[in-house]
Every structure is written in structure tokens, then in C-alpha cells.
Amino acid sequence: MQKRLLSALLLGSTLAVAETPPPMLTGEVFSLQAQEIIVPLTTTWRSRISTMVPEGSLVEAGDLVVEFDGTEAAAQLEGQREAARTEQARTERDLARLEKELGQARHQLDQAQVRLELARLQAEVPEDLMGAIEYAENQLVLEESLNGLEDARKQFDDRQKSLAERKRQTALDARKLAAQERWWAQMLESFTIEANQTGYVIYMNHPWTRAKFQEGDTVQTSFRVAQVADTSDLAVRVWVNGVDRPRVSDGDAVTVRLDAISDRSFSGRLTDISESGSKRQEWGDADYFEAVVVLEDAADAGLLPGMSALVEVL
């Protein structure tokens, strides 16, 4: 009796395992060679999509794909340029004044040297050839001329240093203003994104709400809002439920069926299963592991990025 019961239990377990259906995975066609359109850096970490070509549009390299609102960056760039113009005018005035002061100091130095030469000649006349008072006066004039030359040389050196320091400061200010202007110009340029390859425009989903991004949306820096998909190298991105994860492995053969091509199935292999799972809010609290299905017989099937797929693991 016990042997019969044990045999029945083992048979039931075997049948249960045998009847367990293979994992079914949902996914979508995507391009392995896609240009990702990412929200650029802004000062507020947010931006608004002002222009977005219609989803599904075929674009070529150089075509506009997405343009973000650049009002603030344009205003800041013009402000930087105005500040540079103002600084340039102030610099020109300061340099002209300092050049003039240096010229005056050079003239005063030349005059002081001439006065010293004359005073030295007069002071060298022996005392016995003139009165004691006149000799003493000449010696005093010589001393005053020496002091005057020293003062004039100091004034000249100070003016030279002031001019050199102003020129150094001018160069530093110019580099700083140029760097700021270049930064704003690059930011403004980054708001206009063109295709760098031929492909179809695919709108991406918001990472939290899963709603597709649209023209006019306010988005955060680093969000992927769209992509230009090259259709010459397509695969299927699938999500494996945490319950099914132990039952699938890299290299597993699969059969793929597409909603848009319902009369045909495709063979493929499962690859690149992610190491860690993540939640997808629209599917509940379960963890899902992203993976890729490489198709083996879909070269001329007319697949397009975004097509929904149902994948059966064999």
C-alpha cells in the first residue's frame, strides 16, 4: 500500500513538471544600433521639449530630431556677450589711462636725469672759483636732483607695474569671459539634436509613468526621450519575470511572434540576461530581468522598432 502511494506521488510530480508550460516573455523589437536622444544638461536639471519630429518618421544624418527650449541659455549667452563688450570697453579705457600715465612718468624721469646732469656739472665746480654760499647751494641742488631722480624712477617703475598688472588681469578676465560664453554657447547648441545616422524616430517611455514622451513635455536631464533606430540590425528586448528567471539561461532557443506580423514566427536565442532585476510599475511589484533575443531568420521580414513581441522559451 505504501509503495503504491509513493509511486502515485512520484508519478503526479513527474506529470506536474511535464505539464509546466514553457516561460512566455513579452517584449518589443529594438535596434542594436540606435542613436539615443538624451535630455542635455541645464542649470535647473529640467527642460521642455519644444520640437519633436513625429514618431515613426524616417530621418537621415543631419536632420533635426528633437529641440529643447533654449530660452534661458540664449538669454544667458547674450548676457555674457554684453558683459564681454562692457568689460572690453572698460579695459580699453583703463589701458589708455595707464599708458598715458606711463608716458608722463617716462617724461618726468627723462627730465629728472637732465636736471641731475646739470646739477652734477655745477656741483663739480671748485668752491674757490665761487663763493661759499653758491657752492653750498649747488651741493644742495645736486642732492635734491638725486632725490628727484630716485622719486621719478620709482614713479616710472610703479606705472610700469600697474600697466603690466592690468594687462595680466585683462588676459585673465578675457579667458574667463570667453570660457563662460563658450559654456553657454555649447549648452544652447546641445538643445538642438540632429540625427547622426539614417533611421526611424522612436519615442521612449517615461521611466516612472511609462507614458511616451511628447512634444511640450517637461523632462529631466539624462532622460532618454527618443532614439533614431537603424533597422539594419534589429533584435527583441524582453523582460523575464523573477519567477521565471531560474528557468531561462543565456543561449536558450526561443520562438518569437509579433503582433504586426501575426502569420509568421521567428527563431532566435536568448542573450544578455541582466544580473539584477528591477520593478516595472505598470506590471505590479514583481522584479523583471531585461534580456535580448537575437533573431536568426528575420532579415527580410519587414520588422520595425517598437513592434510588440511574444517570446516562447523552448
Task: Read off the pLDDT of residues 90-112 as tens digits, 9 standing for 90 and up.
Answer: 999 999 999 999 999 999 999 99
Grid coordinates representing 5 are: 502511494
Task: Read off the pLDDT of residues 144-170 as tens digits, 9 standing for 90 and up.
Answer: 999 999 999 999 999 999 999 999 999
* pLDDT score of 195 more than 50: yes
SS3 230: coil
d(CA 195, CA 186): 18
* pLDDT score of 1 more than 50: no
Please list, in sequence order, all residues whose beta carbon lies within 8 angstroms of the beta carbon of residue 125, skipping any fewer than 6 positions away: 135, 138
DSSP letter at 39? P
DSSP letter at 129? G
Question: What is the predicted pLDDT for the residue at 7?
Answer: 52
Question: What is the predicted pLDDT for the residue at 5?
Answer: 46
Find the angle CA(170)-CA(176)-CA(180) to the nearest 5 degrees: 145
User: Of 44-58, 137-151, 278-292, where does mean pLDDT reach its minimum?
Assistant: 278-292
DSSP letter at 282? G
Question: What is the predicted pLDDT for the residue at 279?
Answer: 78
* pLDDT score of 282 more than 80: no
As a whole number, the mean pLDDT across the chain is: 89
d(CA 106, CA 9): 113
Question: What is the predicted pLDDT for the residue at 15?
Answer: 46
SS3 letters for 197-217? CCEEEEECECCCCCCECCCCC
d(CA 239, CA 180): 45
Question: What is the predicted pLDDT for the residue at 17?
Answer: 47
Q: Which residue, 170, 183, 164, 178, is CA-closest to 88?
A: 170
Question: What is the predicted pLDDT for the residue at 286?
Answer: 84
User: Yes or no: is domain 34-69+191-229 CATH 3.40.50.150?
Assistant: no
So what CATH class is 18-33+232-314?
mainly beta
* pTM of the complete model: 0.67
Question: What is the predicted pLDDT for the residue at 19?
Answer: 61
